[in-house]
Amino acid sequence: MRTDLPTFRASLRLKMSAQKTSWFLFFDKGDEVLALPSWAAPRILIVSRSLRQRWRDSAAFYPAFRFRARLVKLVVRTAAAFFPRLFLRQSRKDAGGTKYRLAKFLNHTFPSFKQSAIAYSLFSDYFISTGILAADEYVDCADRRGQLTDLLRNWFPQTDRVVLVAGAASDPKQKLVAKLVDQGGKMVGFVKFGEKPLARQRIETEAEILQSLPAGCGPCFQGVEKSEPYSCFAMSAVDGKMPEAKLPASVDSYQLSAVREYLERLRISDVTFGVDDHPAIMRIRKEVAGGGWQVASDPRQPSTINEQLDSLLEPLREQRWPLVIQHGDFTPWNVLRISEGRRLKVEDGSLSSVVSHQSSELCAIDWEEGTTEGFPHFDFIYYILQTAYFMHHWSAAQASAYARDVLSSQLSVDRDCPTTTNYQPSTEPFSVPSHPSSVISSLIKLAALDAWLAGERGGLSGKPLQQFRLSIVNFSAAGGSARGRKT
């Protein structure tokens, strides 16, 4: 029997508070909930029913790519499977005297120690008293347990339990992602939930984008709920695996061709624009003009980004450009590879439909940064630059050179128009640019600028990744070798 949703929403609106992370809404009162790696800084929350179930559900801890990250994930999963009590909510322990000194020593020697289950269990008072941990971010409100479970089962009746992926409570765009699992351990769907204004905005954006995507290009949209305290939406599970997060040595590789072919499907109309009138470029120009950022391409001649934008657009003015759906964070860790012959399935109890993935074997997830007014090839370039930075630790010069080689090969600039081969309406002839390399160079720099602006909006100002992006745009004199790592 389905819940009276209007009554449910009204009661929940009165009770919810955005000051705390409302993880407890996803679990029933009788559930014993574990937080991995700890309640101090949880990455996932799972129920505890059996060793096998804990091991299976803890696989969602995070998508580890490198050896060290895989080792940490293995240790945490093993501990959760065999020693679940270590990951239960516990009373705060006295950290005075010797324990206080030991906690201080461990925190100084091992900076990540404060996020561990041992630190939370034994030294929480020390970390809370020193302000390292917040005392009330992940409190348990027992009287409000399970207030979302009826809504989840309205969307996915076969749901048995929830694996809840939690963002940092201090993050203004923090969200909760509920992975809904049936009794056999199979993923049946996902629900994204946000309470903070920025998180709600991003969730609502993704819900709109999913409804605009061509069939098979993303998860199937199931439903959305928006009210005063929260926003959430449901989508189908995608039967696929994450590809290897590395760039191939050959720019003609099947991996890159598959990425290009997938992105070509995201053109949404045959209407084309001059580059200055394209909505994506108008947005960039408006954002650049309003920001007033001051950077220097030549230390002797300081200039604003806005003054140099025209030089980037000049090579693109001979062509016309279509609108595309732009992902905004298109990376290997936001893509799933679907084996040949597989299909995306959606089931909501009353409707069962099967959607072919057509010629593409890729399916992108996490469309929170998406827009239906995107610019061609920005996602392709972003895919290359992000992977080059996080996974290969390339310098800006290395990443730019690789991107130029890929685009020159994959877009066939020596044979056709590099920017319109797959987008120009068939009624208009192709016109080969006189300087195709300048078009490629401008596309790479504009894509890096677009990513840099998104980073500034997202609170990354001053971070090494932002310097890397500026170096590619050539608005910074420093070449800047890439630093950082994606787990």
Low-confidence stretches of the chain (pLDDT < 70) are 1-20, 90-99, 114-125, 127-138, 169-170, 291-306, 339-360, 412-435, 475-487
Q: Where in the sequence of the chain do the CATH 3.90.1200 domains occur?
A: 254-473
Length of the chain, in residues: 487
Q: Where in the sequence of the chain do the CATH 3.30.200.20 domains occur?
A: 5-236
| Residue pLDDT, tens place only, 218-259 | 999 999 988 878 899 999 998 888 888 899 988 888 889 999
CATH T-level topology, domain 5-236: Phosphorylase Kinase; domain 1 (3.30.200)
| Residue pLDDT, tens place only, 64-89 | 777 877 888 898 899 999 999 988 87
pLDDT at 315: 92
Count CB neighbours of 446 within 10 A.
23
Q: What pTM value is reported for the model?
A: 0.75
CATH T-level topology, domain 254-473: Aminoglycoside 3'-phosphotransferase; Chain: A, domain 2 (3.90.1200)
pLDDT at 342: 47
